[in-house]
């Protein structure tokens, strides 16, 4: 009977520990909402959808990482694919 109580208490403790919180930040939108490029887009697709960037920084490092700056966001590329796009503050 003691083992059964121990198992029940452990199950309650472990079950109650599994939860998640949602962090909501004012003015920040989720990826994929169309306000900036999404991971995996090609450079040509980014230019076709968002126009020419204000500036393009040459690739550095290995693998080569380049950066395009737009008015409201910055896009980072590995080779010719988007790896990250961040909103400017």
**Between residues 6 and 75, which one has the greater pLDDT?**
75
Dump pLDDT digits (tens) for 4-33. Answer: 777 777 676 666 555 666 666 565 555 556
Report the predicted TM-score, pTM, of the whole model to 2 decimal places: 0.65
Dump pLDDT digits (tens) for 35-57. Answer: 899 999 999 999 999 999 999 99
Q: Is 55 helix (H, G, I), strand (E, B) or coil?
A: strand
- Residue 42 CA to residue 85 CA, distance in Å, equals 13
CB 77 within 8 A of CB 69: no
pLDDT given for residue 33 in this prediction: 65
Q: Is 31 helix (H, G, I), strand (E, B) or coil?
A: coil
């Amino acid at each position: 009977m003691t083992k059964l109580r121990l198992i029940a208490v452990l199950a309650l403790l472990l079950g109650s520990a599994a939860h998640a919180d949602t962090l909501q930040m004012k003015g920040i939108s989720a990826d994929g909402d169309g306000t900036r490029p999404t991971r995996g887009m090609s450079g040509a697709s980014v230019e076709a959808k968002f126009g020419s960037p204000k500036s393009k920084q040459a690739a550095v490092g290995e693998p080569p990482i380049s950066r395009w700056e737009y008015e409201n966001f910055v896009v980072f590329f590995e080779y010719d694919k988007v790896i990250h796009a961040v909103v400017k503050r």
